[in-house]
Chain A
Amino acid sequence: MTSLLEGDGVPSVAVHTNVFARVARSTARLRGIPTLRQAFVPQPVVGRTAAELRGYIEGSDQVSGRPFMQEVIDGLTRPLDDADLTGATFERTTPRLLPRDTEDNLRQLFLDNRWTDFLPIVLPTEERVAAMLEGTSQPPDKVVGRMRAGNFRETWEYTVEKVAVNAVMAGARPEYLSVILALAASNTTSRQGSTTSMTCLGVVNGPIRNEIGMNCGIGAMGPYSHANTTIGRAFSLLSQNGQGGSVPGETYMGALGNPLAYSLCFAENEERSPWQPLHVQKGFEPTDSTATVFNGLRYVQEGFGPRDTWEAKFRRCLAATAYLPPLIVLDPIVARLFQSRGITSKQDLIDWCAQNARLPARDYWDDQWMQTLVRPRAAAGVEPYASKLKAAPDAIVQMYEANDINVVVVGGETQGAFKIFGANYVTTVSVDAWR
Chain B
Amino acid sequence: MADHLSVHDPRGYPPKVTGKRLAPRPSALDGKLVYLVDCLFDNSAAFMEQLRQWFAAHLPAVQIQVITPRESWIDDADMRKKIAADGNAAILGVGL
Binding site for B on A (CB under 8 A): 1-17, 20, 23-24, 29-33, 35-37, 41, 45-48, 50, 53-54, 56-58, 69, 72-73, 76-80, 84-98, 100-103, 106, 110, 115, 123-126, 129, 147, 151-152, 154-159, 161-162, 165-166, 168-169, 237, 241-245, 368, 371-373, 375-377, 380
Contact = CB atoms under 8 A, between A and B. Distances in A.
A77 B21 contact: no
A56 B90 contact: no
Contact of A241 (B1, B12, B58): B12
B12 A242 contact: yes
Interface of B: 1, 3-29, 34, 37, 39-44, 46-47, 49-51, 53-54, 58-59, 68-73, 75-76, 80-81, 83-84, 87-96
A45 B70 CA distance: 21
The 10 nearest A-B residue pairs measured at CB: A87-B19, A15-B93, A158-B12, A89-B19, A242-B12, A156-B12, A8-B84, A20-B96, A241-B10, A100-B4
A8 B24 CA distance: 11
B59 to A, nearest CB: 8
A370 to B, nearest CB: 9
Contacts of B11: 94, 115, 156, 162, 241-242, 244-245
B42 A147 contact: no
Contacts of A76: 25-26, 29, 34, 89, 91
Contacts of B46: 48, 50, 53
A45 to B, nearest CB: 5
A161 B43 CA distance: 45
Contact of B43 (A29, A48, A96, A376): A48
A96 B16 CA distance: 17
Contact of B17 (A32, A46, A72, A243): A32
Contacts of A90: 16-17
B10 A237 contact: yes
Nearest to B59: A73
B90 A372 contact: no
A125 B7 CA distance: 4
Contacts of B70: 376, 380
A16 B91 CA distance: 11
Contact of A77 (B13, B28, B41, B42): B28
A15 B92 contact: yes
Nearest to A124: B8
A395 to B, nearest CB: 22
B89 A125 contact: no
A258 B89 CA distance: 40
A341 to B, nearest CB: 40
